[in-house]
Amino acid sequence: MRVACLDLEGVLVPEIWQAVARKTGIDELNLTTRDIPDYHELMQRRLSILDREGITIHDIQDVIGTMAPLPGAADFLEQLRSRTQVVILSDTYQEFAAPLMRQLGWPTLFCNSLTVNGNGRIAAYHLRQEQGKLHAVRAFKTLQLTVYAAGDSYNDLSMILDADHGAFFRPPDSIVAENPAVPVFRDYPGLLEFLVS
């Protein structure tokens, strides 16, 4: 039996923080794990910007409410789920995910959480566990599952390399250059074929 583990942002949906950057005009929020490999550094930077600019969870949720999955993503995921088990392993937050998960048919999602104070300020972020994607892949393997994994960023690299079969989906050139042995897919039909092969 197999399981396909997918990243969320950049694979199935647009980058949430980049959508917030466009809405607010704050270019610093465009940085993602494609740019900064250290997730804690990236999130501390984001929270500092939110504090400085007075952006609340409600502002971010308003932006997310206008977002849709990437073109072709919902159909790809439906086809994939008809052929294998699928788990989304994401560094997003449960307070962000619901509108996008609804549009994707409520797939299984493992993600993180936020602490939000009474006025909507995001006070802290909480990882489900350090290296959560890697630990999930390893746990699935202990269940005798054959694990396929795909993602687009530095924070996906450990799960991609530890999976039985891992690949990049539309990654930046810098990550590809650093990991030339990892297969790269640029469209959903190719990724689907890989994940069910």
Could you read off the pLDDT of 47-70 as tens digits, one per residue? 999 999 999 999 999 999 999 999
Separation of alpha carbons 57 and 63, rounded Å:
10
Could you read off the pLDDT of 136-159 as tens digits, one per residue? 999 999 999 999 999 999 899 999
Fold category of 2-13+70-111+126-195 in CATH: Rossmann fold (3.40.50)
Could you read off the pLDDT of 119-132 as tens digits, one per residue? 999 999 999 899 99
- Mean pLDDT value across the chain: 95
Q: What is residue 33's predicted lDDT score, i.e. its pLDDT?
A: 81
Q: What confidence category does residue 18 fall into, taking pLDDT thresholds of 50, 70 and 90?
A: very high
Q: What is residue 169's predicted lDDT score, i.e. its pLDDT?
A: 98
Cβ-contact 183, 154 below 8 angstroms: no
Separation of alpha carbons 80 and 41, rounded Å:
34
- How much of the chain exceeds pLDDT 90, in percent? 93
Separation of alpha carbons 35 and 45, rounded Å:
13
All structural domains of the chain with their residue ranges: 2-13+70-111+126-195
User: String of b and e for 54-92 (b: at least 16 CB within 10 Å)?
Assistant: ebbbeebeebbeebebbeebbebbeebeeeeebbbbbbb
Amino acid at 146: T
Q: What confidence category does residue 32 fall into, taking pLDDT thresholds of 50, 70 and 90?
A: confident
pLDDT(12) > 90:
yes
pLDDT(194) > 90:
yes
pLDDT(37) > 90:
no
- Examine the residue annotation and report whether 9 is marked as an active-site residue of this protein: yes
**pTM of the model as a whole:** 0.91
Point out the catalytic residue in the list 9, 15, 152, 156: 9
Amino acid at 6: L
- Examine the residue annotation and report whether 173 is marked as an active-site residue of this protein: no
The predicted model gives 172-178 an average pLDDT of 93
